[in-house]
Amino acid sequence: MKIWSTTTFPETPVNSISSTVYGDKHIKVDLKREDLIDAEVSGNKFRKLKYNMLQALEEGHYSILTYGGAFSNHIAAVAKAGKLFGLETIGVIRGEELGKNLDITLQKNFTLRFAYECGMQFEFVTRTAYREKNTESFRESLKTKYGTFYEIPEGGTNELAIKGCHEILGATTVDYDYIACAVGTGGTIAGIIEASLPHQKVLGFPALKGDFLEDEIKKYTSKTNWELIPDYHFGGYAKTSEELIRFINRFKKEQNIQLDPVYTGKMMYGLTDLIRNGYFSKNTRIFAVHTGGLQGIPGMNDRLKKQGRSTISI
Ligand SMILES: *Cc1c(COP(=O)(O)O)cnc(C)c1O
């Protein structure tokens, strides 16, 4: 119960990143190590869950239900948070074929095995049913099966998640000019924007293609000191390239910091590329947020290996 026993997380460190690319341009990049929040479930997903878990307890719920794919950081985080809080968790997982032989699925899939070991129950559904998960009839069928539950959307973004993400920034971030983070559903960046100061600009690096993201973020903040940089999604969600994998492996070697291929690798790649191309003026100070996601690496490496491609060194 360590990290949840108080309403604050432990302070995570901020590492200064030394790189000739940054040095040449006189840019200071510090990386906020949210990946160190928890050994297994790192980063922003716990921030997003904190106030939701407290709310579920306050409302007297016994179980949490949420949605995700078979490699989802959010699924892993909900499972672990449920275990820490003593709440049951139900994961509605995309892909009914995964439920046909659970033993084999658990053997092969690190994320689901981890969630299962935390006590999560799975409801495997077809891709069609998954797409219709927000309909009243689907929810009713879940209620019939599982009783009442506290529901958290796919990816975990809601008002309470954004409140949790405010806490990524703190008193020590006043001196930075830019704040950079990876974007999936937009909840994390919305919380960071809300907590940012007027002299700061927040740059989001979407991990997927999508024009809808700006509107998603605007649902949660009316501030305008932010911008999405849409050029570094590498073809879409969970898509990678040799160059990205090389970048992640080099970063690990040079900085001794592991990045993930879905979110933080793309963000740091993009940020480095912008710096190299002179996007920032001399002496700019950048606070980049390592949002974690490292539990997804074994699953990604399995898929890369199957395709005969280079893998992420861990
Ligand atoms: C989910 C996730 C994000 C994106 O967070 P959103 O709030 O969905 O935008 C970024 N980094 C990591 C590691 C994540 O797991």
Q: Distance from the CA of 57 to the center of ligand 1, in angstroms? A: 24
Instruction: Name the residue among 160, 220, 230, 158 with its Cα closest to residue 193.
Output: 220
Atom of ligand 1 nearest to the CA of 191: 7
| Domains identified in the chain and CATH numbers | 2-39+163-306 (3.40.50.1100), 44-156 (3.40.50.1100)
Q: What percent of the chain is predicted at pLDDT more than 70? A: 97
Those residues with Cβ within 8 angstroms of residue 186's Cβ, 6 or more apart along the chain or in another chain: 157, 204, 213, 216, 217, 220
CA torsion, points 305, 306, 307, 312, in degrees to nearest 10? -20
- For 34-86, write each residue's pLDDT tens digit: 999 987 777 899 999 999 999 999 999 999 999 999 999 999 999 999 999 99
What are 285's strand-pairing partners?
28
| CB of 186 sitting under 6 A from ligand 1 | yes
Residue position matching structure tokens 């948070």: 81
Nearest-angstrom CA–CA distance, 255 and 234: 23
pTM, to two decimals = 0.95
Which among 38, 168, 188 is the best mutation to test ligand 1's pocket, defined by most ligand atoms within 8 Å of the CB?
188
* Protein residue with its CA nearest to atom 13 in ligand 1: 293
Side chain identity, residue 127: R
pLDDT in tens, 280-307: 999 999 999 999 999 999 999 999 999 9
Cβ of residue 265 lying under 6 Å from some atom of ligand 1: no
CB 291 less than 6 A from any atom of ligand 1? yes
Collapsed DSSP state (helix, strand, coil) of residue 122 = strand
Question: Angle, nearest 10°, between helix axes 110-117 and 297-306?
Answer: 150
- The values of phi and psi at residue 88, to 5°, are -70, 150
Q: Which ligand 1 atom lies nearest to the CA of residue 187?
A: 7
Q: Provide the residue-wise pLDDT of the chain in tens; the chain has 314 residues.
A: 444 544 556 788 999 999 999 999 999 999 999 999 987 777 899 999 999 999 999 999 999 999 999 999 999 999 999 999 999 999 999 999 999 999 999 999 999 999 999 999 999 999 999 999 999 999 999 999 999 999 999 999 999 999 999 999 988 899 999 999 999 999 999 999 999 999 999 999 999 998 899 999 999 999 999 999 999 999 999 999 999 999 999 999 999 999 999 999 999 999 999 999 999 999 999 999 999 999 999 999 999 999 999 999 99
pLDDT of residue 5: 47
Q: Is 293 in the pocket of ligand 1 (CB under 6 A)?
A: yes
72 has catalytic annotation: yes
pLDDT at 4: 52
Alpha carbon of 18 to ligand 1 centroid (Å): 25
Count other Cβ atoms within 10 Å, centred on residue 35.
23
